[in-house]
């Protein structure tokens, strides 16, 4: 649902999303449970973020008759995973949209300055003709998310949406100020950020939890 005070932010309050998110937040959830829930929730979020995609019709024959049936219009959309945690959303969204093109942006966060440092960039061609969905589970300070959108725009993208699991108010504000044209879809808007830039109540380090690296 879109909040009139934050028209570019949509929080998906569907009971299945909220239930799965609670299970993920629980520190006792295993790596495999966390990963499975992230894949499931990513599909529910993808359902929301792809609402309003352009459609056309195609003539087909059902077993009973001919009809003009609705199909997606335009160039294949591009899913851009912001490494590494974006990959946790990518798998599920790709299951739902298997023909999507896929790109990767490698950014790590300098833990002292909290500023993003780019180490990889590979995206599909003709970004300007595609809907581009950037994927990162955590919109925290917004520094890396905004940097990723900067890079996508530099590469020609002009129709970008941002899909995350949790958003912090600071990250939402930063994205709105830097890229007011980029709608954000999230499962929850949390309370804030710790000194180290973690979202609270949050779920910890999304990458570590999905890959079992801590």
User: Which residues within the stretch 100-139 sit at the binding site for ligand URA (CB under 6 A)?
Assistant: 138
Write phi, then psi, for 57 (nearest 5 degrees): -125, 155
Q: Which helix (H) or strand (E) holds 119?
A: strand 116-122
Task: Out of 30, 202, 211, 212, point to the residue binding ligand URA (CB under 6 A).
Answer: 202
Residue 20 CA to residue 188 CA, distance in Å, equals 12
45, 24 Cβ separation under 8 angstroms: no
Give the active site residue among 33, 109, 129, 150: 109
Q: Which helix (H) or strand (E) holds 156?
A: none
Of 13-21, 28-36, 63-71, 200-208, which segment contacts ligand URA by CB under 6 A?
Answer: 200-208
Nearest to 72 by CA among 100, 38, 112: 100
Number of residues in the chain: 214
Asked if residue 206 binds ligand URA (CB under 6 A), the reply is yes
Query: Which CB sits closer to ligand URA, 49 or 85?
Result: 85
Of 22-30, 111-119, 146-154, 197-205, which segment contacts ligand URA by CB under 6 A?
Answer: 197-205
C-alpha distance from residue 211 to each of 1, 25, 85, 126, 131 (Å): 30, 15, 9, 32, 28
Task: Out of 42, 162, 198, 210, point to the residue binding ligand URA (CB under 6 A).
Answer: 198
User: Which residues within the stretch 74-103 sit at the binding site for ligand URA (CB under 6 A)?
Assistant: 85
Task: Out of 140, 184, 187, 189, point to the residue binding ligand URA (CB under 6 A).
Answer: 140
Whether 113 is catalytic: yes
Q: Which residues are catalytic?
A: 109, 113, 205, 208
Binding site for ligand URA (CB under 6 A): 85, 138, 140, 197-199, 202, 205-207
């Amino acid at each position: 649902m879109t909040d009139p005070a934050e028209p570019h932010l949509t929080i998906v309050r569907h009971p299945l999303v909220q239930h799965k998110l609670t299970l993920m937040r629980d520190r006792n959830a295993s790596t495999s449970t966390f990963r499975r829930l992230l894949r499931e929730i990513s599909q529910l979020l993808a359902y929301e973020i792809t609402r309003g995609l352009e459609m056309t019709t195609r003539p087909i024959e059902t077993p009973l008759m001919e009809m003009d049936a609705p199909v997606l219009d335009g160039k294949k959309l591009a899913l851009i995973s912001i490494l590494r945690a974006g990959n946790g959303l990518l798998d599920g969204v790709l299951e739902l949209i298997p023909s999507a093109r896929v790109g990767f942006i490698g950014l790590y966060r300098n833990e002292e300055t909290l500023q993003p440092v780019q180490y990889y960039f590979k995206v599909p061609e003709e970004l300007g003709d595609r809907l581009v969905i950037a994927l990162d589970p955590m919109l925290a300070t917004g520094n890396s998310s905004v940097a990723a959108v900067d890079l996508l725009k530099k590469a020609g993208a002009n129709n970008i949406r941002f899909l995350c699991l949790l958003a912090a108010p600071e990250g939402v504000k930063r994205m709105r100020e830097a890229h007011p044209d980029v709608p954000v879809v999230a499962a929850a808007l949390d309370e804030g950020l710790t000194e180290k830039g973690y979202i609270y109540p949050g779920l910890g380090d999304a990458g570590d939890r999905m890959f079992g690296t801590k």
